Amino acid sequence: MALSYPVEIRLSTGRLELAARHWGNPAAEPVLAIHGWLDNAASFDFLLLHFDLERYQVVALDLPGHGWSDHRPPGESYHLLEYVRDIVAAVETLGWTNYRLLGHSLGGSLAMLAACAYPERIRQLVLLDALGPLTGPEENGPALLRQALDKSIQGSSRMASYPDFDAAVAARQKGIGALSEDAAATIVERNLQQIEGGVKWRTDPRLRWPSYQRMTEGQVAAYLKAIQCPTLLIAGEQGMLKPGHPRMESRLACISNLRLEYVEGAHHLHMEPRPDLVAKLIMDFYAEPA
């Protein structure tokens, strides 16, 4: 009997309950897919339709505060390294000991950090328009800390609401990374909740708060150098890592076993215009000895 994809699952990690979309044969080789900031698991839908779902199973995770996953409890924040802890807990809940990581944008940075922390567990790493976290000069640290503390005391303003789904989609199209109406609608549908008189974002407003601390370029370089598995970076020709990016060359040089491929598209290159081409690059990479 043919399997129907995707299947909605819940992962109780002991910290939070996380939502995810499971694609493929449950007995196949496992892949964990991690989405970008303010996106969700559905952002991989376009790409995974072109995967070999007999050979690979993919769990596309909703990160905490995103999609249908739990928000962090009051008083907590969304620090980068806390996300890595959530990813490790999700994999433990799934019972995987050897797997592949696939990450877009923020999800790519998190996949990179997980790969360097557990090199013996990660077979291959695929980064989609991602090459490590945002950084900042050391001298900016005190001001950044003050800004983050002030925001934690002030709290979030009221979340934006919209009269209907179409209005929310139009707003998302104006966000980070240009998106077509279809692509925006795919992400928005999983990030909305009904309210009286319309809809509002389901995502946790604390996701937009400033970070307490950012890594330095030296710290990022140390993490990148610790990645041992074969790594494929697919960057959009009009994306955030387009040729000429100021930190591209220095970061690329840190990963010892790296392949770089440019494809047509912007930051959400795995959604449009050619998710089939991106999937083929990944399938060919997966087929190589790891």
Minimal CA–CA distance to 201: which of 165, 151, 148?
165
Peptide bond into 273 cis (omega under 30): yes
State both tokens at 103. Answer: 């990450």
How far apart, in whole angstroms, are the C-alpha atoms of residue 21 and residue 61? Answer: 7
Is 234 in contact with 127 (CB distance < 8 Å)? yes
Question: Considering Cα of 28, then 274, then 185, then 204, what sign does the dihedral take?
Answer: positive
Q: 204: which DSSP letter?
A: -
Task: State how far the Cα of 270 lies from the Cα of 102, in Å rounded to an integer.
Answer: 11
Between CA 271 and CA 16, with CA 114 as vertex, the angle to 5 degrees is 80
Could you tell me the two tokens for 84? 């890595």
Q: How many CB atoms lie within 10 A of CB 164?
A: 10
Q: Which residues are catalytic?
A: 105
